[in-house]
Amino acid sequence: MIHQLQQNIQTIQTTVQEACQASHRSYDEIHTICVSKTVPAEWIHMTYQLGQRHFAENRPNIFESKVIALKESCPEIQWHFIGNLQRRQVKNIINQIDFLHSLDRLSLAQEIQKRANHPILCFVQVNVSGEESKSGFSLDELDQAIEELISLDKIQLYGLMTMAPIDATEDELLTIFGQTCQILNDLQNKYPHAQIGNHLSMGMSRDFPQAIQQGADFIRVGTAFFQGIPMN
Ligand SMILES: *Cc1c(COP(=O)(O)O)cnc(C)c1O
């Protein structure tokens, strides 16, 4: 199993390197987040021992139990939260999150403002593709939302996060990721005092090369880490 995991990590790294070369970017800019939501804490520990530091979860309860389970053995772990977060769940987990990728509505931001005891690095989730099933601010809502988010000192705007449709073509992927990059630039120009971070969380196992090509610096990769490893 460790052999397969090592091989998967190697494959991901090579693909990241190739995407960087193709777009004249530096490999060091790219943070590969291991989306560990489907695997037990022991696998996270094993992945950590192979050098991985960024991990992401999407369920508050499971996140909490993994944080506790791994606190001692993986002290340098950086936790990303990427899932839907209900307001009532915020107080339990917000202060253990290093990066929140799913800031998708103002009521959530207001709850974070109430419960966080330090500024939380947040990617604002944007529904660039316009799919109804996707969460995130629509492009129409975004400007007004940013103005309100700026006023909350517990929300540190770190960048934007988006997801492409599962059936997007190569061209559609490039368009959606490229648009997201452009939207971030526009926001930074429009709100120069907001100190909006220059970071883009985009790309999953099937589309991270296209995301890197369009400027992603945080890619969220699950399946590609753990495929081929039997669950038992
Ligand atoms: C599960 C998940 C991922 C990882 O998806 P894979 O296709 O397994 O790489 C990335 N981002 C979000 C928001 C997810 O829920």
Q: CA 111, CA 23: separation in Å to the nearest integer? A: 39
Cβ neighbours for 67, distance < 8 A, ≥ 6 positions apart: 79, 93, 96
% of the chain at pLDDT higher than 70: 100
Return the ligand 1 atom nearest residue 223 CA.
8
pLDDT recorded at residue 194 = 86
% of the chain at pLDDT higher than 90: 95
Return the ligand 1 atom nearest residue 204 CA.
9
Q: How much is the average pLDDT of 55-74? A: 98
pLDDT recorded at residue 1 = 81
Interval between CA 35 and ligand 1 midpoint (Å): 6
Return the ligand 1 atom nearest residue 224 CA.
9
Interval between CA 193 and ligand 1 midpoint (Å): 32
Q: pTM surpassing 0.85?
A: yes
* CA dihedral of 12, 14, 15, 20, whole degrees rounded to 10: 120
Which token pair is 188?
A: 């930074």
Question: Which one of 204, 207, 229 would you pick to mutate in the ligand 1 pocket, going by the greatest count of ligand atoms within 8 A of its CB?
Answer: 204
pLDDT recorded at residue 133 = 87
Q: How much is the average pLDDT of 129-144? A: 93
pLDDT recorded at residue 232 = 67
Closest C-alpha among 129, 81, 131, 89 to residue 107: 89
Q: CA 43, CA 8: separation in Å to the nearest integer? A: 13
Ligand 1 pocket list (CB less than 6 A): 35, 37, 58, 82, 204-206, 220-224
What is the CB neighbour count within 10 angstroms for residue 124?
A: 28
Q: CA 35, CA 222: separation in Å to the nearest integer? A: 4
Which token pair is 215?
A: 């400027």
Cβ neighbours for 138, distance < 8 A, ≥ 6 positions apart: 127, 130
Interval between CA 4 and ligand 1 midpoint (Å): 20
Return the ligand 1 atom nearest residue 161 CA.
13
Interval between CA 203 and ligand 1 midpoint (Å): 8
Q: Are 228 and 210 in contact (CB under 8 A)?
A: no
Return the ligand 1 atom nearest residue 208 CA.
9
Q: Is the pLDDT of residue 124 over 70?
A: yes
pLDDT recorded at residue 210 = 98
Q: Whose CA is nearest to atom 4 of ligand 1?
A: 222
Q: Is the pLDDT of residue 138 over 90?
A: yes
Interval between CA 192 and ligand 1 midpoint (Å): 31
pLDDT recorded at residue 193 = 87
Q: How much is the average pLDDT of 34-55? A: 98
Q: How confident is the model at residue 231 (pLDDT cuts 50, 70, 90)?
A: confident
Return the ligand 1 atom nearest residue 37 CA.
1
Q: How confident is the model at residue 32 (pLDDT cuts 50, 70, 90)?
A: very high
143: helix, strand or coil = helix
pLDDT recorded at residue 21 = 98
Interval between CA 225 and ligand 1 midpoint (Å): 11
Chain-wide mean pLDDT for the chain?
A: 97
